[in-house]
């Protein structure tokens, strides 16, 4: 064991006990922060708990043996640089850019985990046991995979990369081939941990697999993928904990991994995908759709003043936001319309489908940004029984999540997906830029329903027009 004297703690020393206790306190802080997250009222307290946990964890780490004087200087500089980049990323990124911001942070976390694993390997090999080597190998692959995967996802979300899923024949086999190579080399390293040239191959496999994983993903699958990358990043951190004999990393990694996993499962259920299907990165397959929708009947469109009149004379209006609202950045105008309606005595609620938008909870964050009180944001299960009593549903940039074909059309790619039962309401108004079909490329039979009125235009502009119509204040200039 080289350098063992300077790096290894005597487990009975006071220092070891202090580190252990600090880490324990930090882990408890992390758990409390998640616990307090279960209620919007206590959630901010949870952040405090998490931050305290972090400070304790860093203190505990800095008293570890073997950190040199210059090492402390480097650490100080690196912390400052990281904070200098982190503060603007935390404060200046607009809410509309949140999905790509989250994806980017998964990339950073995975990069750090992968780098630490790589450095530790080259420092300690060949004195690494088979078990630790296998864990380290998986950790490096996973870290590299999440790094490129998250960058790809962020690129697609930020529309630097094309958002359309890219599918080619045999894609699954290519993906599994890359994975098989990685597993093969992990086994080889397990048998012979001194096979150091295999590490770069593992890194490359991970990086390539991360890219391949995201290529076939379309926009509507993004919530699942982001949740899954979150889970992978957490698992990578936990594996690193095994390699470094660090319980705190194991706890935090397990918490993060579980959280991502639960979110991914929720997203899968909301899209009626099997979890196995998603775990192996086979999503996006459903994008291939036949074009045989044929004639669905005629559509009825409504002018702004017709739509405004109907809205004003209803008792209960439910707004169904979708990705279109995020794209048009219409959330503030939506709130304004809701306020105007409320002033006219109309009750307004929001129906949030679990996969509306591009990440779990996307619509909730946007509407919260627009100061919509969270009591008005209702989950699918809570609002669905209410639709028969609803006078008007205002569908705003949502498409597949309100398509009744999911209930009965077995040939439809979204068949079986739980949807918002908006067609049970007395009247449905769909705000849409054009008749272009949604992500799945299928016609939405809701649009051809007798109860449905199409209001064409950009979501934000339409909201503005409706506000004027409902409030009856049309200023002379816009005439």
Q: Which residues are catalytic?
A: 400
Q: What is the 3-state secondary structure (H, E, C) of the chain?
A: CCCHHHHCCCCCCHHHHHHHHHHHHHHHHHHHHHHHCCCCCCHHHHHHHHHHHHHHHHHHHHCCCCCCHHHHHHHHHHHHHHHHHHHHHHHCCCHHHHHHHHHHHHHHHHHHHHHHHHHHHHHHCCCCCHHHHHHHHHHHHHHHHHHHHHHHHHHHHCCCCCCCCCCCCCHHHHHHHHHHHHHHHHHHHHHCCCCCCHHHHHHHHHHHHHHHHHCCCCHHHHHHHHHHHHHHHHHHHHHHHHHCCCHHHHHHHHHHHHHHHHHHHHHHHHHCCCHHHHHCCCCCHHHCCCCCCCCCCCCCECCHHHHHHHHHCCCEEEEEECHHHHHHCCHHHHHHHHHHHHHCCCEEEEEECCCCCCCCCHHHHHHHHCCCCHHHEEEHHHHHHHHHHCCEEEEECCCHHHCCHHHHCCCCCCCCCCCCCHHHCCEEEEEECCCCCCCCCCCCHHHHCCCEEEEECCHHHHHHHHHHHHHCCCCHHHC
- Nearest approach, Cβ of residue 91 and other proteins (Å): 6
Give the residue with the Cβ less far from other proteins, 57 or 178: 57
- Nearest approach, Cβ of residue 166 and other proteins (Å): 26
- Nearest approach, Cβ of residue 241 and other proteins (Å): 7
- Nearest approach, Cβ of residue 459 and other proteins (Å): 20
- What is the spatial distance between Cα 436 and Cα 308, in angstroms, rounded to a whole number? 24
Q: What are phi and psi of 306, to 5 degrees?
A: -60, -50
* 254 and 231 Cβ atoms separated by less than 8 Å: no
- Nearest approach, Cβ of residue 23 and other proteins (Å): 8
Give the residue with the Cβ less far from other proteins, 95 or 167: 95
Give the residue with the Cβ less far from other proteins, 214 or 338: 338
**Structure tokens that stand for 235 in this block:** 């698992």
| Sheet containing strand 452-456, strands side by side | 377-379, 347-352, 316-321, 392-396, 427-432, 452-456
- Nearest approach, Cβ of residue 112 and other proteins (Å): 4
Give the residue with the Cβ less far from other proteins, 123 or 300: 123
- Nearest approach, Cβ of residue 345 and other proteins (Å): 4
Give the residue with the Cβ less far from other proteins, 23 or 185: 23
- Nearest approach, Cβ of residue 125 and other proteins (Å): 8
- What is the spatial distance between Cα 139 and Cα 134, in angstroms, rounded to a whole number? 8
Give the residue with the Cβ less far from other proteins, 15 or 44: 44
Give the residue with the Cβ less far from other proteins, 42 or 411: 42
Give the residue with the Cβ less far from other proteins, 190 or 447: 190
């Amino acid at each position: 064991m080289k350098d063992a004297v300077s790096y290894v703690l005597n487990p009975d020393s006071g220092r070891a006990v202090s580190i252990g206790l600090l880490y324990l306190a930090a882990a408890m802080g992390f758990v409390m922060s998640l616990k307090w997250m279960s209620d919007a009222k206590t959630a901010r307290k949870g952040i405090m708990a998490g931050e305290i946990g972090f400070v304790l964890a860093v203190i505990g780490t800095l008293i570890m043996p073997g950190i040199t004087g210059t090492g402390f200087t480097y650490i100080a500089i690196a912390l400052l640089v990281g904070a200098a980049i982190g503060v603007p990323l935390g404060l200046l990124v607009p809410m509309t850019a949140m999905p790509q911001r989250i994806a980017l942070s998964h990339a950073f976390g995975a990069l750090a985990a992968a780098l630490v694993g790589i450095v530790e390997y080259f420092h300690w090999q060949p004195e690494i046991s088979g078990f630790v080597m296998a864990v380290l190998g998986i950790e490096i692959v996973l870290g590299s995979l999440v790094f490129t995967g998250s960058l790809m996802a962020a690129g697609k979300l930020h529309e630097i990369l094309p958002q359309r899923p890219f599918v080619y024949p045999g894609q699954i086999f290519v993906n599994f081939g890359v994975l098989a190579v990685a597993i093969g080399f992990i086994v080889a390293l397990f048998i012979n941990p001194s096979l150091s040239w295999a590490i770069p191959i593992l890194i490359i496999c991970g990086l390539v697999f991360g890219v391949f994983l995201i290529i076939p993903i379309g926009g509507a699958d993004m919530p699942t993928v982001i949740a899954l990358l979150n889970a992978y990043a957490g698992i990578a951190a936990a594996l690193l904990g095994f390699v470094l004999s660090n319980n705190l990393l194991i706890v935090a990694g397990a918490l993060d991994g579980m959280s991502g996993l639960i979110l991914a499962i929720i997203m899968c259920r909301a899209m009626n995908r099997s979890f196995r299907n998603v775990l192996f990165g086979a999503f996006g397959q459903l994008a291939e759709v036949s074009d045989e929708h044929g004639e669905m009947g005629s559509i009825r469109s409504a002018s702004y003043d017709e739509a405004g009149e109907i809205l004003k004379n209803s008792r209960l209006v439910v707004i169904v936001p979708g990705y279109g609202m995020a794209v048009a950045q219409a959330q503030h105008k939506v709130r304004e319309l809701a306020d105007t309606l409320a002033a006219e005595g109309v009750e307004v609620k929001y129906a949030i489908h679990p996969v509306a938008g591009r990440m779990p909870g996307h619509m909730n964050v946007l509407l919260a940004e627009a100061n919509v009180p969270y009591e008005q944001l209702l989950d699918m299960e809570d609002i669905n029984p209410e639709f028969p009593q609803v006078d008007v549903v205002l569908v705003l940039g949502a498409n597949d999540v309100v398509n009744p074909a999911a209930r009965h059309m077995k040939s439809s790619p979204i068949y079986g997906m739980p949807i918002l039962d908006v067609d049970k309401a007395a009247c449905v108004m769909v705000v849409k830029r054009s008749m272009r079909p949604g992500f799945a490329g299928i016609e939405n039979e809701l649009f051809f329903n007798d109860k449905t009125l199409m209001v064409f235009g950009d979501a934000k502009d339409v909201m503005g027009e409706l506000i004027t119509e409902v409030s009856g204040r049309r200023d002379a200039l816009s005439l």
